[in-house]
Amino acid sequence: MSTVDYYIEQLNTIQAAKQDSPLAPVRKSALDTFTNMGFPTSRNEEWKYTRIGSIFKKEFRLQNEDITSFNQSSIDAVRLPGHENANELVFVNGRYSEEFSKIISDEIIVTSLEAAASDEYADIVKAYFNSSSKYLKDGINALNAAYAQGVFIYVPKAKVVPHPVYIYNIVDAVADAVCALPRCLVYVSEAAEVSFVETYATLGASESITNQVTEIIVAENANVSYCKIQNDNSKASQVSTTHIHQVGKSYAETVTISLDGGIVRNNLNIVMGAAHSEAHMYGLYFQNGESHIDNHTIVDNVMPHCQSNELYKGILNDRSTGVFNGRIYVRQDAQKTNAFQSNKNILLGENATVNTQPQLEIFADDVKCSHGCTVGSLDEEGIFYLQSRGIPKEVAMSLLLQGFALDILEKIKIEHIRTYVQELIAARLTTQI
Amino acid sequence: MLKVNVMEEKYSDIEQAILSEYKYGFVTDIEADEAPKGLDENTIRFISAKKNEPEWMLQYRLKAYHQWLKMEEPSWANLKYDPIDYQDIIYYSAPKQKKKLNSLDEIDPELRRTFEKLGISLDEQKRLSGVAVDAVIDSVSIATTFKAQLAEQGIIFCSMSEAIQEHPELIKKYLGSVVPVTDNYFAALNAAVFSDGSFVYIPKGVRCPMELSTYFRINAENTGQFERTLIVADEGSYVSYLEGCTAPMRDENQLHAAVVELIAQDHAEIKYSTVQNWYPGDKDGKGGIYNFVTKRGICQGSHSKISWTQVETGSAITWKYPSVILKGDHSVGEFYSVAVTNNHQQADTGTKMQHIGKHTRSRIVSKGISAGFSNNSYRGLVHVSKNATNARNYSQCDSLLIGDKCGAHTFPYIEAKNNTSVVEHEATTSKVGEDQIFYCNQRGIDTETAVALIINGFAKEVMNQLPMEFAIEAQKLLAISLEGSVG
């Protein structure tokens, strides 16, 4: 039995128990897609450099019951600084755990997707749930949608959520290899404001894979900031999809920090579906050992007068591999678009590899679009300059790299988090270079 | 305010203006010797027999044909076209010649007039222009000029069929060494059915005294043109090669699948320039040439250099990636391209730079201009392999959009596996600036001229790389193919 059949069988069992759910048709059609497509191979252009199929050769367990054997101390170990004043949402093995989550702001509503699909939010769920599949036509995305047991987060009109929302994705791989499929649908209503910080942690030494999909819908005059920190162990692989759809004139900002993990693939889509929207995407990856990071971003300029800006920076050490694929679409109606994209890489390790593909697809003429990318090593002259002033080479390199990373770090808005990431990077620079 | 309105009005006027006629769209009435339509082993044997080829060449073709049968037509390019019926093409068409020609005077006068109309004189009177020409009509090389002078220096410049007869050792050694028959669908097809082309060999230490040039023309109906060019530059030699092409205006699409191979040994330099002006189809996208070409050079020796320059204005569809394999240490690869698409033309073009040797350098400058309903894509690969220490690449691709119905796309692939390499890529997309046009208008330059001026400036970096004779032609071509598309 191939592993695809194995997952199909598991999903069939899971779906059979929820036949009456309003989400059942979506799950069913996603399962069909998954059955047809299976896992992408390197012949699939979008997965050319990331052999995700090799991970899924293994039969990972999908969590079908609520987690019971789990304790608070495991969560305390992975909590992010500033959690005292934050809303915390905990996913264990891809399932939302109400017990360990904590909502302290009144301005935010968190409910299960299942419940949201049958109450007052039904229209929103119906309209936007699984809209990311239009941009990610592959079996991985379908696998998540076929499972889809996540939460619905709602920020009502004109509410500013005073505390950030921390999302923990915890995988309990102590006993066996687990595939977690967390899912979120976020709706930020008119003139509302919210910020998210998401992180990942795997417990235990077994292999694990997190295949996550987060869809964020941003309405008129709303403001969303989203920060992702990936610093898991080398047996924890990940496909993490963030799909932001700006349905009204709005502002969105994302920061993606990838420090460690096995094979990590991030899909970030921003659909600029309303005129005068603005989006900023920042990313920093600093990889060691044999790790593999793949950032795929899509900016789809559908409507005119939008502005997007993207900057991804990477440091690749040892035998690590970095992949960047940034695509900017400018549709025919999206006149007066300004879209910029830049990807800069430093190859530190002799055996490190970078594959980068900045792409533009433009159908409107009155636009300003540019992209650029660079691959190189540390500036010899810069190091020499510092050495000539009595700074040892290692320190000089570390200083230059910190400077390189700073561009991205200073975009993290929440101070606790910024300091936390800065310290992670500083620690890595002192121990590993 | 008034001024702006006037300008806008003018814009729409020009927008409605129709593309100027394709100047080379005439048909010459020459009796042709053709193979029956369709492709099977017999067609290949027919071609091979017609050309009186040795057995090894026939075997090479048949091997390629069987390979081709196993392959699938590539579909990854950003191109849309109806499937090609490979059985509906005449694979061999040659202007009828009674006997082997001894001098150019014996050429069919109709044929000579054709080339004169195209502005290519086969008469050696045109000695002053200093360009040696090999003319290929439909499938067969018609005449090669200046052969004797070149031979004095040991340079071989002749048609491919002649080379197969007279220099089999060179052909056996180099043919298919850069683009193997298994390379891709169109290359395999070409290897099976190619009917002629040019062969150039520059011996050690010789600097070719004149520009070598081939002029391709498709004349007969329903034919495909499959020519093969092979240029070998031995140690320390230099050659500059030009290629030009035209075709009559016809309603059906015609297929052109050529293969060009360049080999540069130690310290050798090859400069290859193309002005591609196949019939692009009419303004509704009917007819035109499908230009599916494989061009690749290898910098075999150290300090060698290969430079591709192309001006692409014609063809309904262009699928073309002139590439350089930088195998020798300190070798240099260059790619300069201007691709213009108008009306319903589609172009998917770019380059591949494979850095294998140490201290290899490459430079890519690509300028895409799209107008009308056309789509213009740049697709390029820069690959730095593990051992390519100190490899250096700089790529720049700029796109210019004229009108809101066209598309410009950029798909660069950068793969770096060596941490001493430096790779840079930059791309921009914009339209012809209204303020720039306004500035020109203000100084009494009308809009059309202003746009031509701006576009010429945009493409200048590439045009500068072309040999003088070609640069002038290319500049005119650029203006012609964009005429009436400003808006």
Query: pLDDT tens digit string along A153-177?
Result: 999 999 999 999 999 999 988 888 8
Q: Do B414 and A373 touch (CB under 8 A)?
A: yes
Evaluate if residue B128 carries a pLDDT over 60.
no
How far is it, in rounded angstroms, from Cα A318 to Cα A287?
A: 8
Residue A259: what pLDDT?
A: 92
Residue A430: what pLDDT?
A: 84
Residue B487: what pLDDT?
A: 45
**Residues 6+ away with beta carbon under 8 Å from B99:** none
- Residue B362's Cα: distance from chain center in Å? 20
- Is the model more confident about A304 or about A53? A304
Q: CA nearest B45: which of B63, B61, B33? A: B61
Residue type, A3: T
Over residues B227-238, the mean pLDDT reads 93
Contact A383, A393 (CB under 8 A): yes
Helix (DSSP H) and strand (DSSP E) numbers for chain A: 9, 21
pLDDT confidence band for B215 (50 / 70 / 90): confident
Over residues B198-217, the mean pLDDT reads 85
- State whether the Cα torsion B460-B463-B464-B468 is positive or negative: negative
Q: Do A374 and B418 touch (CB under 8 A)?
A: no
Q: Is residue B487 part of a domain?
A: no
Residue B5: what pLDDT?
A: 39
How far is it, in rounded angstroms, from Cα B27 to Cα B250?
A: 9
Residue B248: what pLDDT?
A: 64
What does the block give as tokens for A83? Answer: 């959690």
| B311, B464, B475 from B460: Cα distances, Å | 11, 6, 9
What is the number of alpha carbons within 13 Å of residue B404 lying toward its C-beta?
13
Contact A183, A147 (CB under 8 A): yes
Over residues B121-132, the mean pLDDT reads 45
Residue B8: what pLDDT?
A: 39
Residue B130: what pLDDT?
A: 45
Q: Is B425 on the interface with A (CB under 8 A)?
A: yes
Strand positions, DSSP E, A66-204:
87-92, 95-102, 109-112, 151-155, 165-172, 178-180, 183-188, 193-203
What does the block give as tokens for B181? Answer: 């028959």
Contact A101, A79 (CB under 8 A): no
Over residues A112-134, the mean pLDDT reads 92
Residue A347 is nearest to which of B402, B416, B431, comparing CB atoms?
B416
How far is it, in rounded angstroms, from Cα B192 to Cα B86?
A: 13
Kindly list the residues from chain A whose CB atom is less than 8 angstroms away from the CB atom of residue B386: 351
Over residues A225-239, the mean pLDDT reads 93
Q: Mutating which of B383, B429, B455 best tests the A interface, going by the most A Cβ atoms within 10 A?
A: B429
Phi and psi at residue A326, to the nearest 5°: -115, 130
Evaluate if residue B333 carries a pLDDT over 90.
yes
pLDDT confidence band for B476 (50 / 70 / 90): confident
Residue B474: what pLDDT?
A: 75
Contact A155, A22 (CB under 8 A): no
pLDDT confidence band for A191 (50 / 70 / 90): very high
Spell out the alpha helix ranges (H) of B167-247. Answer: 168-174, 185-193
Residue B3: what pLDDT?
A: 38
pLDDT in tens, B146-189: 777 788 889 998 888 888 989 999 999 999 999 998 899 999 99
Residue A234: what pLDDT?
A: 87
| Average confidence score pLDDT of chain B | 81
- State whether the Cα torsion A129-A133-A136-A138 is positive or negative: positive
How far is it, in rounded angstroms, from Cα A408 to Cα A223?
A: 20
How far is it, in rounded angstroms, from Cα A394 to Cα A415?
A: 28
Q: Is A342 on the interface with B (CB under 8 A)?
A: no
Residue B285: what pLDDT?
A: 77
Residue B204: what pLDDT?
A: 94
Pairing status of strand A338-347 against strand B407-416: unpaired
| Average confidence score pLDDT of chain A | 92
pLDDT confidence band for A279 (50 / 70 / 90): very high
Evaluate if residue A421 carries a pLDDT over 80.
yes
Evaluate if residue B447 carries a pLDDT over 90.
no
Kindly list the residues from chain B whose CB atom is less than 8 angstroms away from the CB atom of residue A44: none
Please name the residues between 62 and 81 in chain B that touch chain A, using a CB distance below 8 Å: 76
Q: Is B435 on the interface with A (CB under 8 A)?
A: no
Q: Is residue B60 part of a domain?
A: yes
Q: Do A354 and B415 touch (CB under 8 A)?
A: yes
Phi and psi at residue B2, to the nearest 5°: -60, -45
Evaluate if residue A86 carries a pLDDT over 70.
yes
Coil, helix or strand for A335? Answer: coil
Evaluate if residue A131 carries a pLDDT over 60.
yes
Q: What percent of chain B has pLDDT over 90?
A: 36
Q: Mutating which of B425, B431, B485 best tests the A interface, going by the most A Cβ atoms within 10 A?
A: B425
| A243, A271, A332, B43, B459 from A302: Cα distances, Å | 15, 7, 8, 51, 30
Query: Which helix (DSSP H) or strand (DSSP E) does residue A355 occupy?
Result: strand A353-362
Pairing status of strand A165-172 against strand A193-203: parallel
Could you list the residue range(s) of the whole structural domain that residue B234 is in? 2-482
Please name the residues between 317 and 336 in chain A that touch chain B, using a CB distance below 8 Å: 332, 335
Contact B308, B322 (CB under 8 A): yes
pLDDT in tens, B357-383: 999 999 999 999 988 889 999 999 999
Q: Do A367 and B431 touch (CB under 8 A)?
A: yes
Q: List, in sequence order, every residue forming a beta bridge with A180; answer none if it has no partner.
A: A210
Over residues A340-347, the mean pLDDT reads 94
**Residues 6+ away with beta carbon under 8 Å from A270:** A244, A246, A252, A254, A279, A281, A297, A298, A299, A300, A308
Q: Find the Cα–Cα–Cα–Cα dihedral B2, B4, B5, B11, rounded to 10°.
A: 150
Phi and psi at residue B303, to the nearest 5°: 55, 25
- State whether the Cα torsion B52-B56-B60-B62 is positive or negative: positive
CA distance A372 to chain B (A): 4
pLDDT in tens, A406-418: 999 999 999 999 9
Q: Do A355 and B421 touch (CB under 8 A)?
A: no
What does the block give as tokens for A233? Answer: 């162990």
pLDDT confidence band for B260 (50 / 70 / 90): very high
pLDDT in tens, B84-118: 888 888 887 776 654 444 455 555 666 666 656 65
Neighbours of B59 (CB within 10 A): 11
Q: Is B429 on the interface with A (CB under 8 A)?
A: yes
Q: Do A369 and B413 touch (CB under 8 A)?
A: no
Q: CA nearest B356: which of B317, B374, B329? A: B329
Residue B139: what pLDDT?
A: 54
pLDDT in tens, A53-75: 888 888 888 887 766 667 788 88
Residue B16: what pLDDT?
A: 37
Q: Is residue B324 part of a domain?
A: yes
What does the block give as tokens for A263? Answer: 């094979």
Tokens 């100190």 found at: B390
pLDDT confidence band for B24 (50 / 70 / 90): low
Q: Do A360 and B431 touch (CB under 8 A)?
A: no
Residue B30: what pLDDT?
A: 63
Residue B104: what pLDDT?
A: 52
Phi and psi at residue B131, to the nearest 5°: -120, 130
Helix (DSSP H) and strand (DSSP E) numbers for chain B: 11, 24
**Residues 6+ away with beta carbon under 8 Å from A379:** A400
pLDDT in tens, B32-42: 677 777 888 88
Evaluate if residue A216 carries a pLDDT over 90.
yes
What is the number of alpha carbons within 13 Å of residue A363 lying toward its C-beta?
13
What does the block give as tokens for B257? Answer: 């699948």
How far is it, in rounded angstroms, from Cα A158 to Cα A221?
A: 9
